[in-house]
Structure 1
Amino acid sequence: MSKTIVQPIGQKRLTNVAVVRLKKHGIRFEIACYKNKVLSWRSGVEKDLDEVLQSQTVYLNVSKGVLAKSKELILAFGTDDHSKICLEILDKGELQVAGKERESQLSNQFRDIATIVMQKTINPETQRPYTISMIERLMHEIHFAVDPHNSSKKQALEVIHELQKHFPIKRSPMRLRLIVPESQFSSLMEKLNAWNASIISKEESGNQLSMVCEMEPVLLRDCDALVRNLQGRLEILAVSVHVEGDTQVDHYENFDDATPSVPAKESSVLQLSKKLQKETISAGNDSAQDQEKKNKCTTCNAVVGDPKQYRDHFKSEWHKHNLRRKTRQLPPLSPDECLADIEVSDLKTDLKDYSF
């Protein structure tokens, strides 16, 4: 008596994957990728395509295992080479994520945009930055919605322009050093007065004059062109200047006054430094028994305190910055080195943001 072998039917394969979709000529094509690898590929961190794709196959529906036909591929892409088509879909396609994951990404980007807005703006009355909680509240009041396809910096500048229409807020000035020949000094001063620039100091060296001034970021390009025409040079000393030269501000989550400000006796840079220093516990000040009770972050090469401090550490800018360095195989930085590295990075990358 023969036995009938029962094969399972209705199986859904390739379900625990990240799907990238691209629609061409009215046909939707999909590829199956490993989770968390698509963004690494697009950012240049991941170089091995086999570490990104689960299979170099083009589907019409990944979850059902429906393959794309050759004639459909040729019609849409001009070729039926699955490897080439997978690369195009990987670069141009839309990454499908779960609802909670998408909500988390949008929430994190909203926070990043609010942080950039806080760092680049001040209250025109107090000349001090608003708190992060106040910026987020104002962004909700103007019904700002995050666009996941645009960079956080670009959206932050758009938010600033929109906030200026409804609330007392303005861009914090840049601090520049202008060096021009002595014979061109009067032409430079005439233009700076027209721009309402604030002169901090002047210094004469030989036949050249060096001046430190503060002006609106939107005037940077015009100022750079003027200085070059006067056969001088321009140096950026700080991309965002607050009271006492502060370039950052601590986060006061529970501050709810109408006009928030930072305490006058203590600079915000010092506050941020103290906040980072609380996360770093020196080995020399702790006994061996205490060290065993504490948690160590291998990314920052630092011992962090109780479980709550350990969780908060992973949300800190110090840890995030060292994590980015770790992906580039760079050694971790201390809190002070982290602040300096972030400031240097801003000086190198923010010039293109001042075209507004």
Structure 2
Amino acid sequence: MLVRYRVGKTTFEVVTKEGTVQKYRKGEIKSLDDVLITDTIFTSYAKREKAGTNQLQAAFQTESYQVSRKEYHLLLGGSTLPTQDCVETILQKGEVQVSSAERKEKLEKRKREVINFIHKYYVDPSKKLPHPVARIENALEECKVRVDADVPVEKQIPDIISKLVNVIPLKKTTLEGQLIVPHSFIGAASSIIARYVTVERESYSSHGCTYDIGIVPGEYDLFMSEMNRVTKGNFDFHVYSQQGAAATTSSTEKTKGNKTSKAKKGNKQK
């Protein structure tokens, strides 16, 4: 894998072992021997053109010799190799050249991150629930959305959403509702509640604990699944509003275990 660093009109290249440059930059690898395939600095590795001493001195403002690190250590007893500073600069600041296979893998990973982000933070406004992952993926294909592997997901989302809304309804929102857990299951459910939702208020009665909560849409299915697992379906969840929705509805959705039914409009059941 090549790392290229341009100074003025000259490009310097070093050849590294696959997957080592990022680890070196993070400090996970300390020795250059574990990073470099060869410690020669090239101006064109493809043509096997080596960088000259004068080029290195002019570009990096350092003394340099065209010998390998091994030869230099043998000659001068292991003192620091002058070209080491040049190599370190190239590794830290240079552009890593990736293979087509690595580029494809990186793009697929970023695309999956985009899909998961939309699934997690956006809902179908009419149903107040996130779209299935497969539907979001199909919408990206239908709209011919181009995902950039080098741009963070959050920066791409506004443009992507502006295209997807022509195919599927989307609104960034937070589901708000009321969760009721019987006393006998509060202990088992507490860690699930802490992991998936934000509790605005809680109160206790003879029936158990009532929580006013907010939940990211994309966590809804996991939350329901985990609550069913730890309570064996013995809980109630009423979705009664959407924070940030285009329009607020007063209808309530009641969930007990895996079953969902519509409650009377305007009635927030206790």
Instruction: Measure the CA separation in 1 of the matches of 2:12 and 2:175.
Output: 48
Q: Which residue of 2 aligns with 1:246?
A: 220
- Which consecutive unaligned segments of at least 5 residues does structure 2 have? 65-81, 177-198, 204-210, 231-270
Q: Which residue of 2 aligns with 1:47?
A: 30
Q: Which has the higher helix share?
A: 1
Instruction: Measure the CA separation in 1 of the matches of 2:201 and 2:25.
Output: 46
The Cα shift of 1:268 comes to: 5.2
Q: Which residue of 1 aligns with 2:117?
A: 116
CA contact (8 A) 1:58 1:67 kept: yes
Taking structure 1 as reference, are residues 96 and 202 closer, same or farther at Cα in structure 2, changes over 3 Å only? same
The Cα shift of 1:95 comes to: 1.8
Taking structure 1 as reference, are residues 160 and 41 closer, same or farther at Cα in structure 2, changes over 3 Å only? farther
Instruction: Measure the CA separation in 2 of the matches of 1:20 and 1:53.
Output: 10
Written as runs of structure 1 = structure 2, the 5 A alignment for 1:270-281 is: none
SS of 2:116's equivalent? helix
Identity of aligned residues (%): 24
Q: Which residue of 2 aligns with 1:21?
A: 4
SS of 1:39's equivalent? helix
SS of 2:146's equivalent? coil
Q: Name the count of aligned residue pairs.
A: 185
The Cα shift of 1:213 comes to: 5.8
The Cα shift of 1:27 comes to: 1.5
Taking structure 1 as reference, are residues 271 and 34 closer, same or farther at Cα in structure 2, changes over 3 Å only? farther
Instruction: Measure the CA separation in 2 of the matches of 1:106 and 1:34.
Output: 21
Q: Which residue of 1 aligns with 2:258?
A: none
Q: Which residue of 2 aligns with 1:102?
A: 103
CA contact (8 A) 1:33 1:52 kept: yes
Written as runs of structure 1 = structure 2, the 5 A alignment for 1:235-314 is: 240-241=216-217, 246=220, 248=222, 267=224
Written as runs of structure 1 = structure 2, the 5 A alignment for 1:77-92 is: 77-79=60-62, 80=64, 81-92=82-93
- Structure 2 residue identity aligned to 1:72: Q
Instruction: Measure the CA separation in 2 of the matches of 1:47 and 1:152.
Output: 31
Taking structure 1 as reference, are residues 76 and 241 closer, same or farther at Cα in structure 2, changes over 3 Å only? same
The Cα shift of 1:167 comes to: 3.9
CA contact (8 A) 2:145 2:163 kept: no
Q: Max radius of gyration: which structure?
A: 2
The Cα shift of 1:200 comes to: 6.3
- Which consecutive unaligned segments of at least 5 residues does structure 1 have? 1-17, 176-198, 204-210, 215-237, 250-266, 274-356
Taking structure 1 as reference, are residues 132 and 72 closer, same or farther at Cα in structure 2, changes over 3 Å only? same
Instruction: Measure the CA separation in 2 of the matches of 1:158 and 1:57.
Output: 44
Instruction: Measure the CA separation in 1 of the matches of 2:97 and 2:40.
Output: 17
Q: Which has the higher strand share?
A: 2
Q: CA RMSD in A?
A: 3.7
Taking structure 1 as reference, are residues 111 and 270 closer, same or farther at Cα in structure 2, changes over 3 Å only? farther
Written as runs of structure 1 = structure 2, the 5 A alignment for 1:193-204 is: 201=201
SS of 1:125's equivalent? coil
CA contact (8 A) 1:117 1:159 kept: no
Q: Which residue of 2 aligns with 1:139?
A: 140
- Structure 2 residue identity aligned to 1:135: I
**Post-superposition CA distance 1:200-232 (Å, at most 9, x none):** 6466xxxxxxx9564xxxxxxxxxxxxxxxxxx
Instruction: Measure the CA separation in 2 of the matches of 1:92 and 1:144.
Output: 31
The Cα shift of 1:30 comes to: 0.5
- Structure 1 residue identity aligned to 2:174: P
CA contact (8 A) 1:119 1:247 kept: no
Q: Which residue of 1 aligns with 2:39?
A: 56
Taking structure 1 as reference, are residues 24 and 213 closer, same or farther at Cα in structure 2, changes over 3 Å only? same
**Post-superposition CA distance 1:72-130 (Å, at most 9, x none):** 22333333542222222222222222223322321222122212221221111111111
Instruction: Measure the CA separation in 1 of the matches of 2:4 and 2:228.
Output: 46
- Structure 2 residue identity aligned to 1:41: Y
Q: Which residue of 2 aligns with 1:150?
A: 151
CA contact (8 A) 2:119 2:217 kept: no
Q: Which residue of 2 aligns with 1:182?
A: none
- Structure 2 residue identity aligned to 1:246: Y
SS of 2:38's equivalent? coil
Taking structure 1 as reference, are residues 174 and 124 closer, same or farther at Cα in structure 2, changes over 3 Å only? closer
- Structure 1 residue identity aligned to 2:85: K
**Post-superposition CA distance 1:298-347 (Å, at most 9, x none):** xxxxxxxxxxxxxxxxxxxxxxxxxxxxxxxxxxxxxxxxxxxxxxxxxx
